[in-house]
Amino acid sequence: MRVVSLVPSLTEAVAVSAPGLLVGVTDWCTHPAELGEAARIGGTKNPDVRAVLALRPDLVIANEEENRAPDLDALRAAGVEVLVTEVRDLPQALSELERVLVGALGLERPEWLSRAGEAWAEVEPVGAFTAFVPVWRRPWMVLGRDTFAGDLLARLGVRNAYAGHAERYPKVPAAELAGSGCDLVVLPDEPYRFTAGDGPEAFPGLPAALVSGRHLTWYGPSLAQAPAVLAAALRAAR
């Protein structure tokens, strides 16, 4: 098959499981480091549809949150099969990965997918925290309701203070966040690259956990290491 991936998580999942299937990936696809001859076809939000079509893919894999409906509709209108995933929690992530890799691509269930399920089944909470989780700055945006990253953190003992918000990624002023009474602020390094010098200073006196965005927000081979990686970052902030 000739596969184009419009999602970095799915790019890694396919590349690790079946090297050589990918003929096109986005500019944001960074793992694995070596993606062979796969062409770069633009961003997740602005793929070059003509470039995708020129690759003559048998399948384009996408995500309902990361990709835009008009781009996917344009690919379908040109006769391309598009598989769209939806991932709001860990069980759905595992089942969607199996749907893509086994169901759509006809692969054997990869060993890393089994390891990921086992790793999360055995996870123990690091503690009991209430936190907010910024994903952007200028303006400040945080994880709200019904998010994959929020579900992972909950399994580690971190309650998202904005999990009941009407929006999935609400904009919240920094002053409100600082006065939220939370025990912790969790700062991932993507999509906004929070660092020790960019983020924690906005919330003086509040412990900050700097975490790997790939392990918090990607659903793919990184899921097998994510419990240990995230737990270590949370413990370091205590």
Confidence of residue 228 (pLDDT cuts 50, 70, 90): very high
Average pLDDT over residues 157-181: 95
Pairing of strands 134-136, 141-142: antiparallel
Which pLDDT does position 36 carry in this prediction?
A: 78
Which pLDDT does position 37 carry in this prediction?
A: 86
96-139 pLDDT, tens digit each: 999 999 999 999 999 999 999 999 999 999 989 999 999 999 99
Structural domains of the chain sorted by starting position, each given as residue range(s) with its CATH number in brackets: 3-86 (3.40.50.1980), 124-237 (3.40.50.1980)
Place of tokens 């996870």: 123
The 10 Å Cβ neighbour count of residue 70 is 9
> What's the rounded Cα separation, in Å, for the pair 154 and 109?
27
**Percent of the chain at pLDDT exceeding 70:** 100
172-193 pLDDT, tens digit each: 999 999 999 999 999 999 999 9
Rounded to the nearest 10°, the torsion over CA 28, 30, 34, 38 is -20
- Report CA-CA distances (Å) from 215 to 48, 58, 93, 190, 220: 28, 29, 13, 10, 9
5-47 pLDDT, tens digit each: 999 999 999 999 998 999 999 999 999 988 878 999 999 999 9
> What's the rounded Cα separation, in Å, for the pair 22 and 37?
8
**Token digits of residue 154:** 């909950």
> What's the rounded Cα separation, in Å, for the pair 150 and 155?
9
